[in-house]
Amino acid sequence: MEAWHIWIMIGIVCVIIEIFDPIFIFLSLGIGAIATGLISLSPLFGANVYIQILTFCIISFIAFLLMRKLGKKVLQHPDFETNVYALVGKTAVILEDIPADGKGHVKIGGEEWVAVVKDGKALAKGSKATVLEIEGNKVIIS
């Protein structure tokens, strides 16, 4: 088995590992190994193991830096809230009278929620309130 076979196999194994553990390190190593395998095919670099190792290190390092930039863009957290936390600030319609210091039901964007009034005051059916926060499976309104 020639050196380029080994480099290509190492590269493929690293890329497969990256599929199951997406941290961009193994992909960088895989790119470096595959590139080193292709470079070691040339008669000028193929015989010298030290040049192959140096090539692997340089290409892997460059690929890692590029993957890190790409990873930061792709994995960046959104600037907006998602899931139930996106309901904060929305308007809720009161579906039934909410007694003072009691619970009631409200409708927010087509979904029904159990609601508690933050001030503890009573709210009438049909009135509107603003969602202040989410606490478990209920919304806190004002």
Tell me the per-residue pLDDT of 34-87, one tens digit each, with 9 for 90 and over.
999 999 988 877 678 898 999 999 999 999 998 888 777 776 766 666 677 788
User: Total structural domains in the chain?
Assistant: 2
Asked which of 22, 51, 74 is the last residue of a domain, the reply is 74
In this structure, the answer to whether residues 56 and 34 fall within a common structural domain is yes
> How many residues can be counted in the chain?
142
Asked which of 21, 50, 74 is the last residue of a domain, the reply is 74
pLDDT digits (tens, 9 = 90+) for 19-37: 998 777 899 999 999 999 9
In this structure, the answer to whether residues 97 and 63 fall within a common structural domain is no
In this structure, the answer to whether residues 68 and 103 fall within a common structural domain is no
Query: In percent, how much of the chain has pLDDT > 70?
Result: 92
pTM of the full structure: 0.53
pLDDT of residue 55: 93
In this structure, the answer to whether residues 91 and 69 fall within a common structural domain is no
pLDDT of residue 72: 74
Q: For all residues of the chain together, what is the average pLDDT?
A: 88
In this structure, the answer to whether residues 118 and 90 fall within a common structural domain is yes
Residue 69: domain span: 3-74
Q: Tell me if 68 sits within 8 A of 25, measured CB to CB.
A: no
pLDDT of residue 34: 97
Spatial separation of the C-alpha atoms in residues 6 and 8, rounded to whole Å: 6
pLDDT of residue 43: 81
Dihedral of the CA atoms 43, 45, 48, 53 (nearest 10)?
-150
pLDDT of residue 84: 79
Which CATH number covers residue 95?
2.40.50.140
In this structure, the answer to whether residues 101 and 134 fall within a common structural domain is yes
Asked which of 74, 106, 126 is the last residue of a domain, the reply is 74
In this structure, the answer to whether residues 114 and 62 fall within a common structural domain is no
Residue in 116, 119, 124, 93 with CA at minimum distance from that of residue 106: 93
